[in-house]
Amino acid sequence: MPYDPQAELKRVLDYYNSDPLQERFSALVTGESGSGKTYLARTCRLPIHIDSFDPGGSKSLQADPGWPKDDPRRITSLRTKDNPQGQIVADTRWENEDPYAPSAYEQWEKDTDIRFEIGYYNIFGTYMLDSLSTFADAVMNSVLNTAGIAGKQPRFRHDYTPQKVALINRIKKFMTLQCDFIVTGHLDRFEEPTGRRDKYGDEIRDVKFRLRVTGNAVVTVPMQFDELYIVKNDERNGEISGEIITYAQDKYLARSRLRGEGKLDTREEADIKKLLKKIGLDWEDKPRLELE
């Protein structure tokens, strides 16, 4: 049968139009400590599953005392099932481990594979990995443990390369989810000399922020995401106002493919569901979790 360019064009277009991943939302959300990265989960599509690698990081999601018992923002722990009404599920088993006898990443990897197999993530509106920085530490602990040098200093390419490969491969697998996928990350502040001096003779230094992750994963990991946002909390008129920076090339690095289409402003309110609605993606919650 001769090659038919029209049939091939139709095949490509049909695949694109039916591909659910084209409607998927993925974002790497970074910020300084205390900027509200984890707290942002309160604004995501419910229900939410959070794999928390940050020690104590999920505490910011605990229910406010004034919330009703059936408030959907109350948190449920997979470990204790202490609140069957909760719609934010935080698996906190990964938050603490002994670097000399690490096990967090290996167990997380096993559990994740099972969850993919049984379709666990399909019941959630959002999956969040909190955070990239501490998750990468857990991966490195596993790499060093496998090499028989747990708790020791990483050995350049011997250890950083397998860590980077594990990070990228796991992120790519989560990119196939039918729910929103958000990874948080910490920013480190550093200064660069400019070679210029102010009128007092003091050296002028540029302040910039860098994603806290080892090796060239600082470049390769952000490339996997559609959106790269910065979360900031500014105090204005005595009130704390949260915002998302969708584009910046000065001291922060942020970008948005959707901003290029005119769907987002450079600064947006720190509310994921409002942002999704503005973009034109599915912003409504999925059915409530029911625990027997």
167: pLDDT strictly greater than 50: yes
The whole-number pLDDT of residue 174 equals 94
Q: What percent of the chain has pLDDT over 70?
A: 78
**If 0-12 CB within 10 Å is exposed, 13-18 middle and 19+ buried, where does residue 226 land?**
middle
- Number of neighbours of residue 279 by Cβ within 10 angstroms: 17
Q: Is residue 77 part of a domain?
A: yes
Single-letter code of the amino acid located at 257: R
Measured CA to CA, the distance from residue 222 to residue 226 in angstroms comes to 9
84: pLDDT strictly greater than 70: no
The whole-number pLDDT of residue 112 equals 96
- Residue pLDDT, tens place only, 136-159: 999 999 999 999 999 899 887 788
Measured CA to CA in angstroms, residue 2 lies from 7, 10, 12, 171 at distances of 11, 16, 18, 40
Q: Is residue 120 part of a domain?
A: yes
- Number of neighbours of residue 225 by Cβ within 10 angstroms: 20
- Residue pLDDT, tens place only, 105-147: 999 999 999 999 999 999 999 999 998 989 999 999 999 999 9
Q: Is residue 17 part of a domain?
A: no
Per-residue confidence band for 33, with pLDDT thresholds at 50, 70 and 90: confident
- Residue pLDDT, tens place only, 200-236: 777 777 767 777 777 777 778 888 888 889 888 765 5
Domain of 91? 27-279
Q: Is residue 285 part of a domain?
A: no
Q: Give which of 247, 252, 244, 248 is closest to 272, Cα–Cα.
A: 244
Q: Is residue 289 part of a domain?
A: no
Q: Who's near 49: CB < 8 A, 6+ residues apart?
A: 89, 91, 121, 124, 126, 127, 128
27: pLDDT strictly greater than 60: yes
Measured CA to CA, the distance from residue 175 to residue 172 in angstroms comes to 5
φ/ψ bin of 189: left (φ > 0), alpha (ψ from -120 to 50), beta (otherwise):
beta
- Residue pLDDT, tens place only, 245-281: 888 767 777 888 777 677 888 889 989 999 999 988 8
Q: Is residue 224 part of a domain?
A: yes
Dig out the tokens for 141 from the structure.
């602990």
- Give me the number of domains the chain comprises: 1
Measured CA to CA, the distance from residue 197 to residue 43 in angstroms comes to 44
Per-residue confidence band for 15, with pLDDT thresholds at 50, 70 and 90: low
Q: Quick one: average pLDDT of 75-85?
A: 45
The whole-number pLDDT of residue 237 equals 47
Higher per-residue confidence, 258 vs 20: 258
3 half-sphere exposure, CB direction, 13 A CA radius: 3
The whole-number pLDDT of residue 120 equals 94
The CATH number given to whatever domain includes residue 133 is 3.40.50
Q: Is residue 19 part of a domain?
A: no
Largest distance between two CA atoms of the chain: 79
* Residue for token pair 């915002």: 243
The whole-number pLDDT of residue 65 equals 47
Kindly report whether the peptide bond that precedes residue 99 is cis, defined as omega within 30 degrees of 0: no
Q: Is residue 15 part of a domain?
A: no
